Every structure is written in C-alpha cells, then in structure tokens.
Amino acid sequence: MVRGWLDRVRRSKDLYRLELRDRSGLLEAVWQPGNDLGDPPSPESVVRATGLLRRANGNPVQLHVEELEVVAPAQSPLPTGPGASRSQELDARHLELRSASKYLIFAVQTTLEAAIREFVLARGFVEIHSPKISGGGSESGATVFSVPYFGNSAYLVQSPQFYMQMAMAAGFERVFEIGPVFRSEPGTTPIHATEFTIAHFEMSWIDSHEDLIDFEEALLRYAVAAVAAEHGEEIERHCGVSVDFPSEEIPRLPISEAQDLAGEATVSDERSLSDLERTLSKRAHREYGHGLVFLTDYPASARPFYTMAADEAPDDEPLKSRSFDLLWHGIEITSGGQREHRFDRLERNIAGAGLTEEAADLYIRPHFLEMFRYGCPPHGGFGIGINRLLMAMLGQASIKDTSFVFRGPKRYMP
C-alpha cells in the first residue's frame, strides 16, 4: 500500500496510468477500476493505493493497483496551474511546496542547520533563545517593526546580537542561536525579506576578526560538505548546480582593494554596493573557480558603533574596523566583526554614532552600554542569513524560494 498524491492521471484504452507521489518521489501505477472506467479522481487528490509491485524486463517498477481509495479529493482546477502569476503561487504556497524540488530546499536547510549545530556543539557552544520582542530598536530604530505592548511600543528584534553580547558579559564564552529576525525594510530585492532566519554566533577571547573568519570558514566547509553528502545528487538533478566548498582558503580581500578591482562601484551607495558584490563574486569565480570572497577592513565610519576599530590609521587613511562580510555568488551571506568591549570607548562611539537621543537614552545607554560597565571579555561574532546561504548554495534566484513562507513589504499572507 502506498499513500500519497495522484501526480498524474492518463487514460490508456481500458485502464488508467497513474503517477503516485509522496515526498520520496514518484511511482508509476496502472489501475483498471472495472469494465466501466468512470471518471478518475482529480490530479493532486490524496489517495491510498493497494496492489502488487511488478517489474517487467528492466522497466521501472510499477504498482498494479487493486484498490484505490480517495482519502481527500482535490478540487479542479488548481490555482497554481499554467498561467498562474508568482503572486497566485505564493498565495497557494501549500500547493507550490508539493513539488520535489521545493521540498528539497527545506530538506537541505534541515541538514545544513543540523550540521551547523553539530559543529558548534563539538566546540563548546551553548544555544540560547533570545527574545524577539524588545523595548528598544537595535541600532537606529529606522528598520524595526513596532508592536503595541500593553499601552507602550515595543519592537520586533532585528538581530540577536545584543543578547549574544549579553551572554559574553555573563561569561558564557561561546553562544549561538538559529532563529527569526525582523526588518522593516520597504525595498523589494531578490535577497531581502522582512522576516528571515539567521544563524548567529558570538565568541569570547578572540584576538581579532580574523579568528571569526577562520571559524566561519571551517563551519561552512563542514556544513556544506554535510549537505553535499546527503543531498548532492538530488541538488544536481533539481537545481542544476553542484554543491561544493573550496578546500583551499577563501580569499580575504580588504575592501579598498576590492573597490579597485571592481572599478566604479563604491561602498557608500546601497545600489552600487550590490553591484560591487556581484562584480567581486564574478571575479572570484573566474580567478578561484568559486564565488566566495571575504571582504575585510571596512572603514570604521561605515560600520555600526559597536564594531571595534583599529587603534590607529596611517596618515590620510580612514580608520579601519575589525569587521568583515562574506559574499557567495554576489550575495552577502554574512556580516561579522570584533565588538568593542571597552566601556569608555563604547561610550565615546555611542556619543558619535548619530543616534537619536531618544534611542540612545531609552535603550542603548541604559541597556546596551551597561553590559560593559562591569567588565566584558574581548569578543566578536557573525550572523549567517540562512535563506541567502540556501540561495547561493542551491542557485536559487529569489529569497522567496528559500523561505518556507516569504515575508516582504507587500506580502504578509498567508
């Protein structure tokens, strides 16, 4: 007996040729309901089919159905049929997700996250679940969603980082979390969602952001290898890409050199930043045979106030920050850096960060800065956007495809 969906129904003389589907794949079946064939169940109906499996002369195995029970009929036509718009498909995501290629994305995500967990647990990390509702916006408050909170305003958290740093101040040394974050960003691009999953890591006693880059590289090498071992063949078949991670070190390019390489594009402008990222990844692909590149040494002025800056800069060069991004096929999948852990420097950074007084006084000084008043070890961390990592790894064109249910400025249903 097999249980699943009727993928296809075709009449062939005095019998029906069926394709049955479940999450493991397709099975051919033939079914002769009786002398009068009658109307077949509609495609996509949920069925139980009982019969004998036969294989004739090297042909694929076939189920000769003796009894076909329609457990739940599907209405026709399906809203996701030919001619359906992307919006109609997303409205009927439960139907769109019935395909093997869509299911694969979430099977890959599961393997990926399990491997990430395995890697960090073996290295002494503790998993935390930080709050998603907070009384303060993480940085400027400009890209947070506000929610009514018993007569006050609260916000949906846009990064778990501050809570991870709280764990550093508490002496946890190594923590991680894989969970949702929320960004109220109105723009629509193929790589931006308003809710997405981030895998965030924070670790104490690092010497610089280089330690974080080493760590992330080893982590990704391990996790991508786990995905390739478990799903490599299917990924080639459904996505047309082969999953591999370079065995040699991923190039680490200071942003100033990256800009020279990419020519016109500059880091100061949002649009050209993505042009820069695309150009660089193409170059990396040409030169190293993969599209991965770490960008380092961003000017301190281009990074948030909590990022540690170099102690000094050579004459007429901007002060560098101890931070990095990771690009894969032109997509920024990670941002990270060493955090400033010295109270007096942080206090100075906050004063010069251009925060609204309200944001600084309501949250940043009393709740963030306070974490450093009583001593906090040197530390740093990074966040990997899981949906973007899946896009890069599986060659998917849009974050809509790697989000179980996508959230964007114009899409918050179903």
Provide the β-strand partners of residue 199: 178, 384
**411 contact partners, CB below 8 Å, separation of at least 6:** 90
Q: Is 330 in the site for ligand ATP (CB under 6 A)?
A: no
Among 332, 349, 360, 378, binds ligand ATP (CB under 6 A): 332
Q: Contact region for ligand ATP (CB under 6 A) — 216-224, 253-261, 357-365, 379-387?
A: 379-387
Q: Contact region for ligand ATP (CB under 6 A) — 167-175, 201-209, 279-287, 326-334?
A: 326-334
Nearer to ligand ATP, 80 or 130 (CB): 130
Coil/strand/helix, residue 374: coil
Query: How far apart (Å, rounded) are the C-alpha atoms in residues 253 and 238?
Result: 33
Provide the β-strand partners of residue 36: none
Q: Is 385 in the site for ligand ATP (CB under 6 A)?
A: yes
Residues between 102 and 161 that touch ligand ATP (CB under 6 A): 159
Provide the β-strand partners of residue 46: 5, 72
**147 contact partners, CB below 8 Å, separation of at least 6:** 133, 153, 154, 155, 156
Among 20, 27, 65, 193, binds ligand ATP (CB under 6 A): 193
Size of residue set near ligand ATP by CB under 6 A: 16
Residues between 161 and 190 that touch ligand ATP (CB under 6 A): 183, 185
Among 105, 333, 390, 394, binds ligand ATP (CB under 6 A): 333
Label residue 171 exposed, middle or buried (CB < 10 Å: 0-12, 13-18, 19+): exposed
Q: Where are the alpha helices (DSSP H) in 136-208?
A: 161-169
| Structure tokens, 114 | 């399990």
Q: Which residue has the tokens 């008043």?
A: 373
Q: For residue 221, which of 249, 202, 240 has the smallest C-alpha distance?
A: 249
Nearer to ligand ATP, 360 or 399 (CB): 399
Among 281, 323, 334, 338, binds ligand ATP (CB under 6 A): 334
Provide the β-strand partners of residue 382: 201, 336
CB 266 → ligand ATP: shortest distance, Å?
Answer: 14
Query: How far apart (Å, rounded) are the C-alpha atoms in residues 134 and 158?
Result: 10
CB 171 → ligand ATP: shortest distance, Å?
Answer: 25
Among 47, 68, 198, 224, binds ligand ATP (CB under 6 A): 198
CB 318 → ligand ATP: shortest distance, Å?
Answer: 19
Q: Is 338 in the site for ligand ATP (CB under 6 A)?
A: no
Coil/strand/helix, residue 391: helix
Query: How far apart (Å, rounded) are the C-alpha atoms in residues 60 and 62?
Result: 6
Q: Contact region for ligand ATP (CB under 6 A) — 6-14, 57-65, 108-116, 193-201?
A: 193-201
CB 410 → ligand ATP: shortest distance, Å?
Answer: 14
Residues between 218 and 247 that touch ligand ATP (CB under 6 A): none
Query: How far apart (Å, rounded) are the C-alpha atoms in residues 34 and 31?
Result: 9
Q: Which residues are near ligand ATP by CB under 6 A?
A: 159, 183, 185, 192-193, 196, 198, 332-335, 383, 385, 387-388, 399
